[in-house]
Every structure is written in structure tokens, then in C-alpha cells.
Amino acid sequence: MPRQLPTILLAALLTGTALPALALTPLERIEPAFWWVGMHSEQLQLMVHGERIAEFVPQLRYPGVRLLGVKRLSNPNYVFLDLQIGPKARAGKFEIVFRKGKQQIRAPYQLKTREPGSAQRDGFNASDAILNLMPDRFANGDPANDTIPGYADPANRADDSAGRHGGDLKGMADHLDYIADLGYTALWPTPLTDSNQAQYSYHGYAATDTYQIDPRYGSNEEYRQFVAKARSKGIKVIQDIVLNHIGDRHWWMQDLPSQDWLGYDSKFVPTYHARTTASDPYAAQVDKQNYAAGWFEEHMPDMNQKNPLLATYQIQNTIWWIEYAGLAGIRADTYGYSDQAFLAQWSRRVLQEYPKLNLVGEEWSTNPVNVAYWLRGKQNANGYVSSMPSMMDYPLHDTLRKALVAPDSLHSGLADLYEALVNDSLYPEPNNMVLFEGNHDVSRLYSALNHDFDLYKMALAYILTMRGIPQFYYGTELLMTSPLERDDGAFRKDFAGGWAGDKVNAFTGAGLTEQQKEAQAYLKKLLNWRKGQPVVHNGKLLHYAPQDGAYVYFRYSAQGKVMLAFNKNTRPVTLDTARFREMLGPHSQGRDVLSGQTLALGRSLTLPARGVLVLEVK
């Protein structure tokens, strides 16, 4: 199949419009290819691309729709149409007519009807547990799409580092029952949009067309069907998008709309990743500019959102996918690298359309000041205002991994984990932070914990009971391992059983070790228990300073109370429960979620060696 379908042709295929005269027109694209009536914003901007299309005069006639203005750039092959879709506009088809003397181009366009309740859709929240997976490395449901003519990066499963392995939408859809049975209620696949890059296209973070699903994963319609199927099984889908950069084989790169479409006037200048410059009161302007305008790397050009046409394009692209696919949220990659004013506008505009949706950004920093800067409600010294509801909790993620393997003392180990929660004073909504044990960019949890199964279980219990939205990485339930140093291929190995002929199959249990089965069952038990625990989803948090390698905290509300008790010692430890009088009475009891046993908590509590207790307090 061809590398790209022109959007005019795509629109015709999607809407059923007749093609004969249209297919011969010089128009390559209109983006977005279609829109909806009844959106919060009445404004719609269309990017039209075709040979010298800027020399044509556009017109349209459709009840409730007005052409407010036309914007032209230095490149005559682009024109931008500003439309107003008023409240009286109805779903239907119309033509945009472009005229130049006796020449005439008729382009079909369609306004669609929104799904009932679309604007008020619920996003992911603290009642959910998110699974992050890399589609190319999860399951290959359709081997026929592994290699596509016209795509530069053919499948090569023998190449763990850079090769595509063939995982796809059908592979994910085929195993939604496994994901749901484990207890996950939300799914975050890494980007699925078209990535016709020469190498490393499997990860998807260098898009070549942000309005198309990569055909090696499937089609746009298959993506819609996948999201609907996931929703029918109680799983919300979160789309991973990249606001900061594209791939250097993006279709724009052959014919840029303007010289300032990309950072540094479309010339490669690398970013120095100085993320503190976003909020540093002493940062030099040249460093601030480099962080926002520098290219992520030579093959990932930086988009210049100071160009208002590009900014609008990206905002509409996000809204289009939410509406088209039925999404429950967005995860924004490399969030802080984009222009700050654009990010404020993007988050505000998306949430105006979908007030209950959730958005989470990646600010890969262990400094909570850097992370908090981007959050909704944060009072920043420089006056910057964001509408971003959530960020990935890299500071607490990093502390958890280090604290569990460190020796315990007054100033290390569990004490670091205890003290890290003071950072929540920086976050306007701590319970909306996404707390994760791992993802596609970091070493595997089991390896980070020195392959210590006891510490692994503590980490899982912590993630699932601490404030915030828990997120896990595919294969964590199988004790997958990796080097500790950066090694993307090793972090992203194939999921066992995702390919025909795999000797080990996590979906059926075939070939798993007894310890892998125990790990799988442990995570499944806690995930499914957590589903029915509002006190863990939204309850308050109270914790006690660690003593002698033991750490206790409570989640509590008027509806219930859960006690977590961690013991890193190689011997059992008995706690005097009088210390916890704020939470426990003389006749309190706790049901152990994992064993089902009921323990008396009135006077003392004995913690097992190298263990964790998850207790429902009565």
C-alpha cells in the first residue's frame, strides 16, 4: 500500500463520498479530515496542502458554518482556513470550493455527530490501575502486517535493540481478557501513530503522520474498535502523544509550511535537556530557549509552538483523537520541552472540551520542584499558570527503588521513603499523581531491587496502596529483568507468549517458573482487591516515621481504613500498636488481604521477616 493516503482520499473513504473527479485534484491533504458538531469551541482551523493551493480562493456554503478567514504562509503549497461551526450547524457533508480563474477544486468535508455524553466522559483517576505496554513488543496478532511495502523499517525480531518485532493492535485486543483478569482498569500503550522512520520506528516517539495509525499496528478504524472492545471489558485507553517533536521523515519535512515551523528556524540544534530552566529564576534566556526549541535529537525535529498555526494544529489533533477513538485520557511525552505558553493553552483547551478527562505529563526529573511547576493549581513564582491535572511521579518512583535496597538508618532506607512524601506539599492534587514502578524508559523493577523477591512484593504493595494513580509496566508480573544502566532494547523485551511458538506463555502459564506464577498471582490479588477499595482510591493518608527497619502508614476515610506495615529486617518485628492510637483502638482487628487471616491490633502486631502486611482494619 502507499506510504500515506492523502487526507482528501481518506475523507472520501471514511465518509463514502464519490471519488472520480476528486482523485485528480492537486490537493494532498485537509487536516483534520473531518470534525464534529456540538463541540465546546466553535472554532476549527483546517490545514490544506496542495500544489500552490494558496493561490486559490476558498469558499463554502453550509448552514451554521462560516469561513471566517484565510491564512497563507511563505510556502504557497499551504493554506489555513478558519471556520466557525455555530450551534445551529448539523452533521452532514459539504464542499469547500477553491477557485483560481477558471480552475476549480471541490473538496468534500464532513461534520459528524458526537457520541452521547462525549463531552462528559470520565477520565482515568485514582480508582484505576494503569498498565503501560509497548505494542510492538507485547503480542503479534496479525503477522501479515509485520512488514509493509513503502515502510523503511521491516520487521526483525532478532534485533532487540532497534528492530520491529511485529506486535500490533490485534495482539493487544486478543489479550484484553488477560489484562482485565489481572485487575487493570486502564491501558497506556506507547504511541501507535504512523512512524515511517528508517530505524527505531518500533517505539513510535518519532511520528511521521499524527493523524494515522501506523499500518504495521493496524488502521484507524481498528484502533477505534480496539478502544471500544477495551471499554467493554472495563478498561480505559490512554493515548500516548508527543507534543514536542516529530520524526525527520514526517511528511512535513519534504515541504515545510514555513521556515519557523520547527525549532531554530528548522535547523538542527540539539537540546541540552536543561529542564530546570523552565522554572529557574536565574536561568539564562539562551538556555531557556534551547530547552524549548532545541531538537530532541537529529532525527527528532522540535516543533515550534510559538507559531500559532502549528499550536492550533496540535491542539486540534489531540481533541480529534479523543473524540474519534473514544479515549479516557492522554499521556504527554517529554512534556516540559515544549513552549510553555503553548502547554498552558493545550491543557486548557483540551479540558474545556472534556472537563472530566485526565491528562498526565512526563517530566523526567527526580526533583519535585521541576515536576510540580507544570501542575494545575500550582502557584508559581513567575506567575505561570497550567491546567495540567497530573504528572508522572518520577521523584517518588526513584525514591522507592532506592529506599528499598538501601540499608535502614535514621537517614536512609525507609526513612527516605517516609521523608519523600513531604514533597506532596508542592503538588496541588497529590492523589492525581501517577505513581509507577517502571516503564519503557527505565530498568526493570526486579533488577533494580537486586532480584530480591521480598522487596519486589513490598514495592507492589506500596504502589497499590500509596496515594495517587498506580501504573505498572508489562512483564513486571513475570519478574522480567534488565541491566541497570540505560539499555532500551533490554527494557523492552518481548512479552512471553505474544508470538506463535513461544515456549513460555504468560497468558496460559505454560513454561513459567513457580516464582513467576507466585509473582503473577500476587499482583493479580492486590490489583483486584484494590478495585473495591474506595478508601485506597480517595482516602486520606497518615504515616509514621520508620523505626528499626519497619514503616507503617494508613489510608482512611469515613467508609474504612487500611493499614500497611513493612518490615525490611531479616527477623520478625513486633510493634507496640499504642503508637498508632490515632488510627487503632484497643479492640481493633485487621484482616490480612493476602492470607485472609484476622489479626488482633489492640496491643501489638508482629510483622513477618522481610514482609509486608496489607490489613483491612475493623
Residues labelled as active-site residues:
333, 362
Q: At what angle do helices 220-232 and 308-325 cross, to 10 degrees?
A: 50
Exposure string over 576-599, b if 16+ CB within 10 A, otherwise e: ebeebeebbeeebebeebbeeeeb
CA distance 360 to 335: 9
Asked if 15 and 91 touch (Cβ cutoff 8 Å), the reply is no
Q: What is the dihedral of CA 322, 361, 528, 490, to 10 degrees?
A: 110
Q: Return left, alpha or beta for 451; rule: phi > 0 is left, psi -120 to 50 is alpha, else beta.
A: left
Residue 512, C-alpha cell as written in the block: 513459567
The helix or strand, by DSSP H or E, that contains position 71, with its residue range, turns out to be strand 65-72
Q: Are strands 390-391 and 434-436 parallel, antiparallel or unpaired?
A: unpaired
Measured CA angle at 250 (ends 246, 255), to 5 deg: 120
Q: Which of 398, 363, 400, 364 is nearest to 378 (CA)?
A: 363
Asked if 570 and 609 touch (Cβ cutoff 8 Å), the reply is yes
Q: How many CA atoms lie within 13 A of 568 on its CB side?
A: 24
Residue 466, C-alpha cell as written in the block: 500509596
Q: Which of 500, 470, 618 is nearest to 171 (CA)?
A: 500
Amino acid at 381: A
Q: State the burial class of residue 1 (Cβ atoms within 10 Å of its Cβ: 0-12, 13-18, 19+).
A: exposed
Amino acid at 2: P
Asked if 550 and 559 touch (Cβ cutoff 8 Å), the reply is no
Find the DSSP H helices in 280-379.
285-293, 308-325, 340-353, 368-372
Residue 325, C-alpha cell as written in the block: 477513538
Exposure string over 79-111, b if 16+ CB within 10 A, otherwise e: bbbebebeeebeeeebbbebeeeeeebebbbbb
